[in-house]
Amino acid sequence: MSGETVPPSVVLLDIEGTVSPISFVHDVLFPYARARLGAFIASHSGEPDIAAALAELDDMTPGAQPVQTLHALMDRDAKVGPLKLIQGRIWAEGFAAGALSGRFYPEVAPVLLAWHAAGLALAVYSSGSEEAQRLLFGHTEAGDLTPLFVGFFDTRIGGKREAASYAAIARALGRQPAAILFLSDAEAELAAAAKAGLMVCQLVRAEDGTAPSAAHPHAPDLASVAARFGLPQPS
């Protein structure tokens, strides 16, 4: 792998288990949305995008109450459009009201700021919707971090375990795959990105209990990624 001697010009970031603890999504965001599903649907069912999402839910489970279907989808962490849309809208209201704020590992904001200041292009690829990604990075203790990023990608561009998705992201960014470093905690995602020609590094966060892969480079935090790949460190 050439990433240790030729620094990347783009860093593509996963979110859960990479820059944000997995527990934040599962213990904070998911319960927040779940507790508000019924009230949100009652208040917003007449809006075109929500009405379309509810119709799609009814196609999935004809005759079932939408909240019941949404609960079932959440129970199996399904990556489906109607659920993502409704969750995202509920989270947007929570972030706007100040009831929610993004939680990131302590070194993340300083490192991302240093990388951006040095001219590195930053992008996000997560199974969470693009809208949810912007909410998380837009409401942090360090302020709004969304201006640091040149792109936000979700599974509308393709599945995270498919090499074609990473090739499509490289094309969207106008970069060669070999110039992009993908950071994730998930071995299958790293394997797909590497197959597409990207540099990869696994984040092995102690808090998330990530098991290191023998197939890919790994690091405990973004500062260690910077040291390994010749990237700038915060001053």
In this predicted structure, what is the pLDDT of residue 235?
83
187-190-194 Cα angle (round to 5): 140
Q: Which domain holds residue 115?
A: 10-20+102-229
Output the domain CATH number for residue 132: 3.40.50.1000
In a domain, 187, yes or no: yes
In a domain, 5, yes or no: no
* 123 and 213, same domain (yes or no): yes
Contact 112, 145 (CB under 8 A): yes
In a domain, 1, yes or no: no
* 204 and 175, same domain (yes or no): yes
Please give the structure tokens belonging to residue 7. Answer: 């620094």
In this predicted structure, what is the pLDDT of residue 5?
59
Give the 3-state DSSP-derived string for 3-71, with helices as H, strands as E and coil as C: CCCCCCCEEEECCECCCECHHHHHHHHHHHHHHHHHHHHHHHCCCHHHHHHHHHHHHHCCCCCHHHHHH
In this predicted structure, what is the pLDDT of residue 1?
41
Q: Whole-model pTM?
A: 0.88
In this predicted structure, what is the pLDDT of residue 126?
95
CA atoms within 13 A on the CB side of 195: 13
* 77 and 149, same domain (yes or no): no
In this predicted structure, what is the pLDDT of residue 81?
86
In this predicted structure, what is the pLDDT of residue 80?
87
In a domain, 173, yes or no: yes
In this predicted structure, what is the pLDDT of residue 3?
41
In a domain, 217, yes or no: yes
* 112 and 204, same domain (yes or no): yes
Contact 123, 137 (CB under 8 A): no
User: What pLDDT, in 10s, does the model give residues 23-37?
Assistant: 998 899 999 999 999
Q: By CB neighbour count within 10 A (0-12 exposed, 13-18 middle, 19+ buried), where does 93 fall?
A: middle
* 168 and 77, same domain (yes or no): no
Q: How many CB atoms lie within 10 A of CB 27?
A: 11
Q: By CB neighbour count within 10 A (0-12 exposed, 13-18 middle, 19+ buried), where does 44 fall?
A: middle
Residue for token pair 């470093």: 181
In this predicted structure, what is the pLDDT of residue 77?
85
* 144 and 221, same domain (yes or no): yes
Which regions of the chain are under pLDDT 50?
1-4
Total of domains in the chain: 2
